[in-house]
């Protein structure tokens, strides 16, 4: 398989790689309406912060196609309603809201006709997708430069999937891994399985196998042990939302990995595009944390693993405090969390 693009515009519809089917099957899911796109995001057929932003942007294009009138004000009201539906799919990744807002701004463009405005919206969604690939490649290069200079061949640990599948292509944290591999600086990547939905086992491992990147799969409980045994040189993870002070929400379990990395003096990097920084919030305490259905906890595959009568808690993300983060790798370079706000200001 060549490059992996999880969200592809196809004439008048979108093809999504169905990430709920990997690695057992590689299937494309056809999305024809904005409502189908909202369902695909909610059910995680497409997932990962930048990827759901791109998917939502194309969801707005599909929503625009659904309007057949010629009145600009009612077209814009219709788009606002589509945006509201898409915004309600997943609360944590800010890229979703960022992309929808960018599409709504694009809808303010002065065009001769509604049809021309629809074309402009499609061009904007396509720009969001292609910019994301370029952004991830830049993150990969900056990350590569920031990795420890010794040993020559690094052993990196990652959590969840922040790869091509989680972006428009290439990946953020896994983009850094990919760049290290292509630069001959990677010995292997350790992938946490990432309970409960197993994005590490199902998606990160799959992506690595596609590219021939040596990958060792770990149960989440094993990361600290591997660090204690001197098996990990650095950690690189993605992000769903970064507060201005550098506190970072990412997949549940990331915080434990950061604590373990600090205890073993191992650098802990967050790789994310600037669109993942929420400039409206100051600390991680303000980041909304998605809670998902308890079935993700009490069931593995089709088998129930817990007895009836217990209660469940299933937060999908946690917040790693800025003081545990060595550097935030963006398309503009690597920032210490304390310099993040200044860095954005200079952008
Ligand atoms: O629930 P998911 O699979 O959408 O969560 C994904 C993550 O937490 C990723 O690490 C994050 O979105 C970064 S993706 C480049």
Q: Whose CA is nearest to atom 6 of ligand 1?
A: 48
Q: Identify the burial level of 314 via C-beta atoms within 10 angstroms of its C-beta, where 0-12 means exposed, 13-18 middle and 19 or more buried.
A: middle
346 pLDDT exceeds 70? no
List the structure tokens of 293: 């259905």
Are the beta carbons of 159 and 237 closer than 8 angstroms? yes
Give every CB contact of residue 113 below 8 A, 6+ residues apart in sequence.
70
pLDDT digits (tens, 9 = 90+) for 162-216: 999 999 999 999 999 999 999 999 999 999 999 999 999 999 999 999 999 999 9
Q: What is the pLDDT of residue 236?
A: 99
Catalytic residue flag (residue 240): yes
For residue 49, say whether it is annotated as part of any ligand binding site. Answer: yes
Are the beta carbons of 62 and 125 closer than 8 angstroms? no
115 pLDDT exceeds 80? yes
Question: What domains appear along the chain, each with residue ranges and CATH number?
Answer: 7-134 (1.20.120.420), 142-346 (3.40.50.10470)
Give the mean model confidence (pLDDT) for residues 77-105.
98
Give the mean model confidence (pLDDT) for residues 282-306.
96
* Residue 93 CA to ligand 1 centre (angstroms): 8
Counting every residue written for the chain, the total comes to 347
Residue to mutate, 196, 251, 278, 296, ligand 1, most ligand atoms under 8 Å from C-beta? 251
Residue 176 CA: distances (Å) to CA of 198, 278, 329: 21, 22, 9
Are the beta carbons of 257 and 235 closer than 8 angstroms? yes
> How many whole angstroms separate alpha carbon 53 and alpha carbon 55?
5
Q: What is the pTM of this model?
A: 0.97
Query: Which residue is listed with tokens 């992996």?
Result: 4
Per-residue confidence band for 257, with pLDDT thresholds at 50, 70 and 90? very high
pLDDT digits (tens, 9 = 90+) for 3-12: 999 999 999 9
pLDDT digits (tens, 9 = 90+) for 211-249: 999 999 999 999 999 999 999 999 999 999 999 999 999
Q: Which residues line ligand 1 (CB under 6 A)?
A: 47-50, 93, 160, 162, 166-167, 172, 199, 238-240, 250-251, 316
Give the mean model confidence (pLDDT) for residues 337-344.
84
Per-residue confidence band for 347, with pLDDT thresholds at 50, 70 and 90? low
């Amino acid at each position: 398989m060549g490059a992996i693009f999880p969200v592809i515009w196809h004439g008048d519809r979108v093809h999504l790689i169905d990430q709920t089917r990997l690695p057992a099957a590689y299937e494309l899911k056809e999305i024809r309406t904005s409502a189908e796109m909202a369902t695909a995001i909610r059910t995680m057929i497409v997932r990962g912060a930048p990827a759901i932003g791109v998917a939502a942007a194309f969801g707005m294009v599909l929503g625009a196609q659904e309007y057949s009138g010629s009145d600009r004000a009612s077209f814009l009201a219709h788009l606002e309603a589509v945006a509201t539906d898409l915004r309600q799919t997943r609360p944590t990744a800010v890229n979703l809201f960022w992309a929808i807002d960018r599409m709504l701004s694009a809808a303010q463009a002065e065009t001769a006709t509604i049809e021309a405005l629809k074309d402009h919206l499609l061009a904007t969604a396509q720009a969001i997708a292609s910019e994301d690939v370029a952004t991830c490649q830049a993150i990969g290069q900056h990350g590569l430069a920031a990795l420890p200079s010794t040993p020559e061949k690094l052993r990196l640990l990652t959590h969840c999937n922040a790869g091509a599948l989680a972006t428009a292509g290439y990946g953020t944290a896994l983009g850094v891994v990919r760049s290290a591999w292509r630069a001959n600086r990677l010995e292997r990547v350790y992938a946490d399985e990432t309970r409960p939905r197993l994005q590490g086992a199902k998606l990160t491992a799959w992506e690595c196998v596609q590219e021939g990147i040596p990958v060792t799969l770990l149960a989440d409980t094993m990361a600290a042990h591997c660090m204690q045994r001197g098996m990990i040189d650095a950690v690189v993870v993605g992000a769903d939302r970064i507060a201005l002070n550098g506190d970072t929400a990412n997949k549940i379990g990331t915080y434990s990995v950061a604590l373990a990395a600090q205890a073993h003096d191992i650098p802990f990097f967050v790789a994310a595009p600037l669109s993942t920084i929420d400039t409206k919030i100051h600390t991680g305490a303000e980041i909304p944390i998605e809670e998902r259905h308890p079935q993700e906890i009490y069931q593995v595959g089709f088998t129930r693993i817990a007895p009836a009568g217990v209660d469940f808690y299933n937060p999908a993300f946690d917040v790693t405090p800025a003081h545990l983060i060595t550097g935030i790798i963006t398309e503009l370079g690597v920032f210490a969390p304390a310099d993040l706000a200044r860095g954005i200001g200079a952008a």
